[in-house]
Amino acid sequence: MQIYPTMELLGGRCVTLDKGRLESPMLWHVDPVETARGWAAEGASWMHLTDFDAVQGQGNSADLVEEIIRSAGLNVQLAGGMRSREQVTTWIDRGAARVVVGTLAAKQPALVAELAKFYPDQIVLALDIWQGQVMTEGWREAAAMTPEALLQAYEAVPLAGVIVTDIDSDLRDAEASMGVISGLAPHVRAPLIASGVVRGEDDVARLKYIPGIDGALVGRALFRKTATLKALLAQATPGKELRAEFL
Q: Which domains does the chain have, with CATH numbers?
A: 2-235 (3.20.20.70)
Catalytic residues: 8, 128
Tell me the per-residue pLDDT of 85-124, one tens digit each, with 9 for 90 and over. 999 999 999 999 999 999 999 999 999 999 999 999 999 9
How do the pLDDT tens digits run along the chain, 247 residues long? 999 999 999 999 999 887 666 667 889 999 999 999 999 999 999 999 999 999 888 778 999 999 999 999 999 999 998 999 999 999 999 999 999 999 999 999 999 999 999 999 999 999 998 888 888 877 677 777 889 999 999 999 999 999 999 887 654 556 667 778 888 888 888 999 999 889 889 999 988 888 889 999 999 999 999 999 999 999 998 764 444 454 4
- Residue 51's nearest CA partner among 9, 22, 14 is 9
d(CA 125, CA 21): 21
Beta-bridge partner residues of 27: 15
Other Cβ atoms less than 10 A from the Cβ of 117: the count is: 11
Cα diameter, the chain? 69
pLDDT in tens, 44-76: 999 999 999 998 887 789 999 999 999 999 999
Taking phi over 0 as left and psi of -120 to 50 as alpha, with beta for the rest, 81 belongs to left
Report percent pLDDT > 70 for the chain: 89
Contact (CB, 8 A) for 124 and 77: yes
pTM of the model: 0.91
Which pLDDT belongs to residue 176?
A: 63
